[in-house]
Structure 1
Amino acid sequence: FYKAQQLLANNYYDYTLVIRPDIYPLEVLTLLKQHTKNKFIGYQWDGLKRFPVENIIPLFDRFFIFDHTDLTHPDYQSYKLHSITNFYFDMVQPLHIKNNKLQAYFIGDHQACRVAAIQHCAEILAANEVDIKFVIPTSKAKDIKCYKSKYITFGKQNRLSYYENLKHVDSADILVDFVIAGHNGLSFRHFEALYYQKKLITTNTHVKYYNFYHPNNIFIWGERNLDEIQEFLAKPFIQIDSHIVEKYSFKNWIKTILDTSNS
């Protein structure tokens, strides 16, 4: 709190955007609001059931959520919520790296609910002669022993900055996404795949309802017969209309977040 006071000093801002407000003490959020002249905005990019924020939603002038199903959840009907997807950072330009052999990339924290899917996917892709770069950045023995596949890498040294992660995204041919139980919103991987023009394998079935979905580009793991994965890998990537791609850029995202016309 005192560090926040020192940083803010006597400065006041037109807008304040707080991402993942559940990780900040209430007194810090209150202080931030006091230093905001126009709109105090929150964005929760995790499901409200996973990280509850009901007690702080009323503090914000506008509150955005990434899981659209929270809008109709009976527990949140008394709150004024706005739905918005995640995004990709358009200030980083893709290099469109070409590999001699297909490479699949996934990085994510250990979550017990997705261990089986991660292992199964790694084994299936390896059997189809895909290079595997699956990273769980943990050194905890109790977490590591949950995995039996030889294709998964561990260790805190693999905890990358987001920019370093994007380098791996750019050099991969296939991005892989394993939805966390209780989530319905799309992770950043979906939008990075769209922007970097990578194929995507995901366990999130909701992606088929988005305007950028194409079966050549996105394989919904667990919904289709896994025998089809070889056919999917062989299909050419289909270019998505640039207007659709731009819709999910950070530039468009921040404009939507700060727009007061629908307040």
Structure 2
Amino acid sequence: MKVKKKTLLLLVPLEFGFNKVFANNAEMDGFDVYEIAGDIFGNFKYSSTFQKLTNTFRKIFLKDKDYKKKIKRQYYIDKLHNKFENSPSKTFDFALIIRPDLWDKDIVNVITDLAKRSVCYQWDGLMRYPLFLDYIKYFDDVYVFDRSDLSCHPKLKFSTNFWFNYLDRTIKPVAPNNRVLYVGTFQKNRVVEMQLFFSFLRKSQIDYDAFLYFDNKEDAKSYKDCRTFNILTHRLNYEEMVKLERDYSIILDFQNTLHSGLSFRHFEGLALERKIITNNKSVRNYDFYHANNTFILDEFNWNEIVEFIQLPFVKSNSNIEKKYSFSNWIRYVLDIKPYQEMG
């Protein structure tokens, strides 16, 4: 007897093509995925001049401030129904939204109402994006990647990031070469530290490549003559970045000072058997941490990096790798047993 697939409504930021890698891995894991591209909603528009005048009349003369909310909600519902008109059911088993604070609350509410169980995940710090707290009420379960954020609300649960194990089929490790790679987006609060560190690598004759993407072209002009890193003319999507990582032995990770959660770099290193150099001290608290594999930067120990590079990589056991895979992560956050708890 054929087992019916669980249906999954999926809303993930388009940035770096994350929406596609989430959908691809979820499909590999047996879900019937209905991916919602965030841009399908567009800006709300009245369906007619009459509808707009009706709203004005009701607001002024009837003191009805909810009419626009109702038609706006119906607008989003219609958009979703048009998107998934071939769906076998109007109710989905799960809704999973990453960074719900990026979207209108009405959009989020409509999506969660269409699912039997709704879950969201915040992969950035709440100190950086506190608006996220206003969205908690729409979900059955709410996960954050920074343990220190758990105190912000009693409903919050912890989960780490993970590695996308569907990529395993096409991306294979290469021979170690002691080269260091950094790929990131320009952020003013960490660029000075980066430049100092890149200069140190160069003086220490450690081979490295650093690529930085600038959202603001004016900022990029200020660094056009910079010799410590290369300016990317376009964003690499996630798959491109992971493919690039396989050509290096060491991945460099600079923590955003507004959170202590682990970036995806740590889990890519785990999967690809690559060393990590990071300034995120919280990595010591994870069960996959090994001093041979992860070097934790501080202001006094840079001279120890050369010795670290020469250490042999210590492979984690397969159970640890499975624990931090997307396949385990999605079962964990959706509470589909069996799974290993993340973190």
CA 1:40 to 1:129, structure 2 compared with 1: closer, same or farther past 3 Å? same
- Distance in 1 (CA, whole Å) between partners of 2:293 and 2:267 is 12
Match of residue 250 from structure 1: 326
* Partners of 1:119 and 1:148 in 2: CA distance: 13
Residue of 39, 47, 50 corresponding to 2:117:
39
Matched, 1:169 2:245: yes
Instruction: Within 5 Å, give how 1:147-162 maps onto structure 2.
Output: 149-157=226-234, 159-162=235-238
Q: Corresponding residue for 1:21?
A: 100
1:74-124: CA deviation from partner (whole Å, max 9, x where unpaired): xx24x401100000011112411125x422111111111111221122122
Whose helix fraction is larger, Structure 1's or Structure 2's? Answer: 2
Asked if 1:234 corresponds to 2:334, the answer is no
1:148-175: per-residue Cα shift (whole Å, max 9, x none)? 7513111332x11111111011111100
Q: What is the 5 A alignment of 1:57-68?
A: 57-68=136-147
Greater C-alpha radius of gyration = 2
Counterpart in 2 of 1:114? 190
Q: Which residue of 1 aligns with 2:127?
A: 49
- SS of residue in 1 equivalent to 2:268: helix
1:206 aligned counterpart, secondary structure: helix
8 Å CA contact 2:255–2:280 kept in 1: the answer is: yes
Q: How is 1:73-222 mapped onto 2 (pairs within 5 angstroms)?
A: 76-77=152-153, 79-93=154-168, 94-98=171-175, 101-138=177-214, 140-143=217-220, 145=222, 149-157=226-234, 159-222=235-298
> Counterpart of 1:141 in structure 2: which amino acid?
E
1:68 to 1:250, Cα distance in 2 relative to 1, 3 A: same
User: Cα distance, 1:61 vs. partner?
Assistant: 0.6
Q: How many residues align?
A: 254
Answer yes or no: is the 8 Å Cα contact 1:216–1:235 preserved in 2.
yes
Shift of 1:215: 1.0
Instruction: Name the CA distance, whole Å, in 2 between partners of 1:110 and 1:95.
Output: 29
- Tell me, what secondary structure is at the counterpart of 1:253? helix
CA distance in 2, matches of 1:125, 1:50: 30
What is the TM-score of this pair, normalised by structure 1?
0.90
SS for the counterpart of 1:54 is: helix
Question: Structure 1, residues 47-90: CA drift from partner, whole Å, max 9, x if none?
Answer: 11211211110110100000111113xxx24x401100000011
Deviates more, 1:50-59 or 1:81-90: 50-59
**Secondary structure, aligned partner of 1:55:** helix
Q: 8 Å contact 1:119–1:147 — kept in the other structure?
A: no
Unpaired runs of at least 5, structure 1: none
User: In the superposition, relative to structure 1, how do residues 186 and 144 fare at CA in structure 2: closer, same or farther (>3 Å)?
Assistant: farther
Gap runs ≥5 in structure 2: 1-40, 42-75, 338-343
TM-score of the two chains, using structure 2 as the length reference: 0.70
Q: Percent sequence identity over matched residues?
A: 35
